[in-house]
């Protein structure tokens, strides 16, 4: 169980309790052991493909090898989508958005219509945002700015009081004020001081990209951040990834849950973690691994979930407890008693 805890980033007691319950409910299929064995086999294959010895590679060696591969892959992607040294920041951002949009084609989400969103802003003007952008009236703002960009920017700029009032007004609108549509990626004004590179606003199905911060980052990194933001829009976007977007990224397929155990902590092979390490210049000792931790745990949980519909009759009561009133995730994450 300690190996599972290390790879999932969870406390040992939590893992023992959660996995123990699932093993018992599913007839002791040893899926935890299977997950470890299969992950180790895939890890060895990936290390060999990198030219590393699976039996004699340190965590630090793997960390910097992954950074080097990511840099080469960023360059390959840039070349494939037409980004050169002379490409303007605006064009690079547009190409990054196109790259991200190629990775998802879901059925859409329930979002406020643009006409309704504009009316809502007239009822509750975003004064802080207007001041930052130099507008004196809401009509002037809406005449020159995309309404989805406005709502995305408001996430970072406007106060909690403004958001509470906006949510209250939106809750009173009828269903005709909403529609089903794809999330839209919009570029936020460089005049705005925004800490996050990507901001999502589910009310209008918008993903805002900070143009000021994006200028110096690889297009692949921007696309990864956009894809990551999409996961907040529903289950249909949970499996979104970029591994099929270019041949240079094919190696990263199936690595999202892989980590190499070391005495200093596991090293993540998840593309998003490696991208964060590169973008933030993180060394081996403080490297990101949260995406791989979550992916490993999700992979393990999905293995047990496959057993639920085939549970034997003698543990039907356990099956009901998993779903009613608790769902599968609730059972897996039930708090450990102190």
Last residue of a domain, one of 237, 271, 298: 237
Place of tokens 């920017």: 153
> Is there a domain that residue 249 lies in?
no
> Is there a domain that residue 168 lies in?
yes
Q: What angle do CA 330, 336, 338 make, to 5 degrees?
A: 150
> Is there a domain that residue 246 lies in?
no
Q: What angle do CA 136, 142, 146 make, to 5 degrees?
A: 130
Residue 103 and residue 187 in one domain: yes
Rounded mean pLDDT, 257-270: 95
251 burial type by CB count under 10 A (0-12 exposed, 13-18 middle, 19+ buried): middle
Q: Give 45-74 pLDDT, tens digit per residue.
A: 999 999 999 999 999 999 999 999 999 999
pLDDT of 37 higher than 90: yes
Residue 233 and residue 110 in one domain: yes
d(C-alpha 98, C-alpha 270), whole Å: 22
pLDDT of 330 higher than 80: no
Residue 309: predicted pLDDT? 62
Residue 310: predicted pLDDT? 54
Residue 223 and residue 132 in one domain: yes
Of 8-17, 64-73, 263-272, 307-316, where does mean pLDDT reach its minimum?
Answer: 307-316
Residue 93 and residue 200 in one domain: yes
Q: Examine residue 325 and say whether the peptide bond preceding it is cis (omega within 30 degrees of 0).
A: yes
Show the tokens assigned to 281. Answer: 């210049």
Residue 107 and residue 68 in one domain: no
**How many domains in the chain?**
2
Looking at the chain, the whole-number percentage of residues with pLDDT higher than 70 is 89
Task: Give the H/E segment covering residue 112.
Answer: strand 109-112
Q: Which range of residues forms the domain containing residue 66?
A: 2-75+254-332
Residue 130 and residue 216 in one domain: yes
């Amino acid at each position: 169980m300690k190996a599972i805890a290390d790879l999932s980033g969870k406390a040992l007691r939590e893992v023992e309790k959660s996995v123990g319950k699932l093993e018992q409910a599913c007839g002791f299929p040893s899926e935890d052991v299977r997950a470890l064995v299969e992950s180790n086999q895939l890890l060895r294959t990936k290390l060999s493909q990198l030219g590393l010895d699976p039996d004699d590679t340190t965590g630090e060696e793997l960390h910097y090898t992954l950074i080097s591969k990511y840099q080469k892959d960023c360059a390959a992607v840039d070349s494939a989508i037409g980004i050169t040294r002379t490409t303007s920041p605006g064009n690079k951002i547009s190409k990054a958005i196109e790259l991200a949009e190629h990775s998802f084609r879901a059925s859409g989400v329930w979002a406020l219509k643009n006409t309704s969103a504009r009316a809502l802003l007239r009822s509750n003007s975003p004064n802080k945002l207007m001041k930052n952008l130099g507008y004196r009236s809401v009509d002037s703002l809406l005449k020159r700015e995309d309404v989805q960009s406005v709502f995305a920017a408001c996430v970072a700029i406007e106060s909690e009081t403004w958001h509470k009032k906006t949510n209250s007004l939106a809750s009173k609108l009828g269903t005709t004020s909403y529609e089903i549509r794809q999330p839209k990626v919009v570029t936020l004004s460089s005049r705005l001081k925004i800490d996050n590179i990507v901001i999502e606003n589910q009310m209008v199905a918008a993903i805002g990209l900070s143009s000021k911060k994006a200028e110096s980052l690889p297009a692949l990194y921007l696309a990864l951040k956009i894809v990551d933001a999409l996961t907040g829009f529903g289950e249909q976007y949970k499996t979104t990834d970029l591994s099929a977007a270019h041949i240079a990224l094919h190696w990263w397929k199936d690595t999202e849950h892989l980590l190499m155990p070391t005495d200093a902590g596991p090293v993540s092979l998840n593309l998003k973690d490696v991208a964060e390490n590169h973008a933030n210049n993180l060394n081996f000792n403080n490297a990101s691994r949260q995406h791989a931790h979550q992916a490993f745990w999700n992979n393990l949980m999905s293995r047990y979930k496959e057993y639920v519909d085939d549970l034997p009759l003698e543990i039907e009561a356990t099956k009901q407890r998993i779903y009613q009133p608790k769902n599968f995730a609730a059972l897996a994450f039930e708090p450990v008693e102190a």
